[in-house]
Amino acid sequence: MTLKIVLSIFVLTIFIRFGASIKCYECNSANNSMCLDPTIYDTETIQKYLRSAECERSVLATAHAGKPMFCRKILQTILNKGHEPEVRVTRGCGWVKHRRDCYKADNEDHLETVCQCFSDNCNGVDNLTYSLLTVLTVTLGRIVLVL
C-alpha cells in the first residue's frame, strides 16, 4: 500500500513538473520605462509594475503549439540618421531557440543583442542584464564608424 502511494506521488510530481508552463517578464521599454533597467527598482515595485506571464497561456503559444517556450530579452539600439540613437529593451516569451544563449545582430539601422534563458522570470532583474555603459560604448563606436 505504501509503495503505491509513493509511486503515485512520484508520477504526479513528474506530470506537474512537465505540465507547468514557464513564466517570463513581458514588457517593452517603449511603453514601460521599468523594462529598460529594472535593477534600479526595489523588488516590491518590480513585482507590482513588471508583468510576469505564463508563456504557454499566451497568444504566441497557440500560434506555435508543440514548441517548448522559453524567456527572452532583446536589447536594441536603433540608429536614426540625424537623430540620437534610441535604446529599447523587450522582454517576453520565445519559441525558436538559437544555438547560443546570447547572440548579436548588426543591421543597417539597428544593433541587437538577444539572450534566451530557460527558468521562470530569468529575463528579469538579476539575469541577462547589460550595463548602460556597454550599450553607449557600442553605439558611439558605431556612430564614429558611420562618420
Residue 117 lies in a domain: yes
User: Any idea which of 15-19, 35-39, 77-81, 120-124 has the lowest mean pLDDT?
Assistant: 15-19
User: Any idea which of 61-75, 82-96, 120-134 has the lowest mean pLDDT?
Assistant: 120-134
Residue 91 lies in a domain: yes
Range of the domain at 67: 23-146
Give the pLDDT confidence score for residue 23 in this predicted structure: 94
In the predicted model, what is the mean pLDDT of residues 97-116? 92
CA–CA dist 73, 102 (Å, integer): 9
* CB 114, CB 100: distance < 8 Å: no
Residue 72 lies in a domain: yes
State how many domains the chain has. 1
> Bigger pLDDT: 23 or 107?
23
CA–CA dist 29, 88 (Å, integer): 6
Residues 113-123 pLDDT 10s: 999 999 999 99
List the CATH number of the domain containing 60: 2.10.60.10
Matching residue, cell 512537465: 18
End-to-end alpha-carbon separation of the chain, Å? 78
